Amino acid sequence: MSQPAKVIKWCSMSKESRKFQVPDALANIYDFANTLDLRHFIHHGVQHQQAEELPDAAALGDWMQLRRLLDRAAPPSQKTFEAALQLRGAIRDYLKCDPAERHRKSAITTRLDKAMEPFALRVASVGKDGFGLIPLQADAQAGLSTIVAELYNAAAAGMLDRLKMCAADECQRVFFDRSKPGTRRWCQSTLCGNREKTRTYRERHKHESESET
């Protein structure tokens, strides 16, 4: 093949992915990873509440329908729902790793490999686009396989390294690094970045004060 296989079409982007200018090719991965919101920081005096967008199979079905990943007549089974949560967890763990670490075989990449197993893909001719990856299964399995295909396509195109998890422990939000050098560590430097820098400064100042006494 002269170019990496690709998904036949991209699905609609969410409000969040549009707001932060996440490329279409990464939008489903970004949205899927962020269905688990672990943020628990205080901003402007308000405690951010953690949230789970996918508490059950019905919620997963609704989420997929909004993104045209699932036919309304075919809701996910409990088995597919559980596999989806395993996939999401493995993707989040993978994106939490430094991009340099992702290219080494490790427990994290092994877990992601295993989590992708239920969502098989095959290569097929897709007309003018040449060859593309299409789901081997049907219904909800196919929609989640599309996300797996996006992982492959993004990695093959060199884009996946730009998708990261915020380094702030109280955030852990997946974000797209749009900086030129691709070295951002926080989803928003004005928020999480400033909190981390302020905390580091205070801790260093505390240690210096203690050493003087």
pLDDT tens digits along 84-99: 999 999 999 999 999 9
d(CA 34, CA 172): 9
* pLDDT tens digits, 148-158: 999 999 999 99
- pLDDT of residue 206 exceeding 60, the answer is no
Give the SS3 label for residue 57.
Answer: helix
Burial 41-56 (b: 16+ CB within 10 A, else e): eeeeeeeeeeeeebee
Write the pLDDT tens digit of every residue in 122-150. Answer: 999 877 768 889 899 888 999 999 999 99
Pair 36, 164: CB distance under 8 Å: no
The dihedral over CA atoms of 135, 141, 143, 147, expressed in degrees to the nearest 10, equals: -80
Residue 116 phi/psi, 5-degree rounding, is: -85, -15
Mean pLDDT taken over the chain: 85
CA distance 60 to 53: 8
